[in-house]
Amino acid sequence: MLNKLDDFPVHQTPEPLAHPATSDRNVYDRTWFNGYAADGSYYFGIGMAVYPHRGVLDCAFSVVTRDGRQHCFYGSRRAPTERTEMRVGPFRIEVIEPMKRTRVVLEDNESGLACDLTFSARTAAIQEARQTLWSGARRTMDATRFDQFGRWSGVVRSPDGEIRVTEEHCHGTKDRSWGVRGVGERETGGAPAAPRGIFFLWAPLFWDDHISHAIFFDGEKGEALVREGIVAPLYGSEAEVPGVEDGRDQRMATARHRVQYHPGTRLAASAEIDLVDHDGGVRTIALEPILKFQMKGLGYGHPEWGQGMWKGELAIGHESFDPRQLNPLEPWHLHTQQVVKATDGARQGIGVLEQICVGPYAPAGFTEFLDGAKR
């Protein structure tokens, strides 16, 4: 079972590249982006992933504006053996220059959503620490991720109108990850397992001449499962960005977070992140949300268009909703990204705060699986 990439000297096992190194049914390989205006007037998200053992390639594109609804396009197909075939119906991703420039196209379709967007990198690739989570003796997540920060140009068309996207005004983050994590339909058979919770924060931020990034996974008592803080240079143009890594990213000793929630919800009303350096110095960053995006618009936790679900040989779908009118405690509404203003003393930044908290979580006073903040 060969594909075009087998013609390159990139193999890590004796198997062709179409053969994952693990037989875990939840192995995946994902490309993800966001893009947003610095004034919070719009946000869009993009995702595509292949699940080799599930035989699925799926994708999504979703956009929300400050005064409008969130519009979502979903697509799914049988996964091709050819890994460079990154197309589902009217949606495609084109890697123009690896780790420099990517084009995303959604052709006209019945959803009323379309786009022709180009991502241009402004940082080198930044590899996050390997993320491994366990349930008893079984790995529930074992993934590698790298991020790049950049700018977008192009156009987005939605039922609410057209957005002209320019590099001067549109920031974005590219997220490539692969490995194993829970996707698709739940496994059946065997002894029943108790439902498990999760706490996750992810905060990529732009500053004038650098970026900061923080990643958190917590246990239900608030214990640190993953803690990572990163600072890296922000280049003025794509031409200045090194081809892969530049070795100039600074890894903090640790990072901490504090979140204030809207009463009766699990949605952040504000947050603070501490980046702690190896000498004990602390940089505290305050985050103020200005626009909410529901991650179900990219398939995360979606009851019908969840990632990795088998939808047939080719299926596309769409929906629209007002994020402000949703029940924030329904399971598929807990996962959000919010465009945030960032403040660090006199410095001002912009970025996103991604969060999901399911199940008991002592630091927030959550004692049930889906209760909201008491105050």
Give residue 139's pLDDT.
Answer: 86
pTM for the structure as a whole? 0.96
Look at the block and give the residue holding tokens 């990219």: 298
User: Cβ contacts of residue 138 below 8 Å, gap of 6+?
Assistant: none
Q: Is the pLDDT of residue 250 over 90?
A: yes
Report which DSSP code applies to 38.
Answer: T
- pLDDT, position 311: 97
- The predicted pLDDT at position 260 comes to 98
Cα(350)–Cα(55) distance, integer angstroms: 38
pLDDT for 48 beyond 90: yes
Chain Cα centroid distance, residue 89: 22
Whether residue 65 is contained in a domain is answered as yes
Does the pLDDT at position 135 exceed 80? Answer: yes
Residue 137 banded pLDDT, cuts 50, 70, 90:
confident
Give the number of other CB atoms < 10 A from CB of residue 293: 25
374 located within any domain: no
217: domain range? 4-182+195-364
CATH number of the domain bearing residue 290: 2.40.370.10
Q: Which positions ≥6 away from 8 have C-beta within 8 Å?
A: none
Q: Is residue 18 part of a domain?
A: yes
Residue 164: which pLDDT band, with cuts at 50, 70 and 90?
very high
Measured in degrees and rounded to the nearest 5, phi and psi for residue 362 equal -60, -45
Per-residue pLDDT tens over the stretch 14-45:
999 888 988 899 999 999 999 999 999 999 99
Asked if 287 contacts 272 with a C-beta cutoff of 8 angstroms, the reply is: yes
**Residue 343 pLDDT > 90:** yes
What pLDDT, in 10s, does the model give residues 169-197? 999 999 999 999 988 888 788 888 777 88
Mean pLDDT over each residue of the chain, to the nearest integer: 95
The pLDDT value given to residue 215: 97
Whole-number pLDDT of residue 163 = 97
What's the confidence (pLDDT) of residue 34? 98
Burial class (CB in 10 A: 0-12, 13-18, 19+), 214: buried
Is residue 375 included in any domain, yes or no? no
Angle at 212 between CA 143 and CA 207, to 5 degrees: 145
Could you report the per-residue pLDDT of 235-248, keeping only the tens digit for each? 999 999 997 889 99
Asked, for residue 369, whether it belongs to a domain, the answer is: no
Residue 173 lies in a domain: yes
Q: How many domains does the chain have?
A: 1
Cβ within 8 Å of residue 83, ≥6 positions away: 3, 4, 5, 17, 18, 29, 50
Per-residue pLDDT tens over the stretch 104-130: 999 999 999 999 999 999 999 999 999
pLDDT at residue number 195: 78
pLDDT digits (tens, 9 = 90+) for 266-298: 999 999 999 999 999 999 999 999 999 999 999
| Residue 187 covered by a domain | no
Tell me, yes or no, whether 203 lies in a domain: yes
pLDDT band of 94, cuts 50, 70, 90: very high
- pLDDT at position 9 is 94
Q: Which residue has the tokens 């500053």?
A: 207
Contact in structure between 79 and 52 (CB atoms under 8 Å): yes
**Of the candidates 226, 277, 290, 238, which has an alpha carbon nearest to the alpha carbon of residue 119?**
238
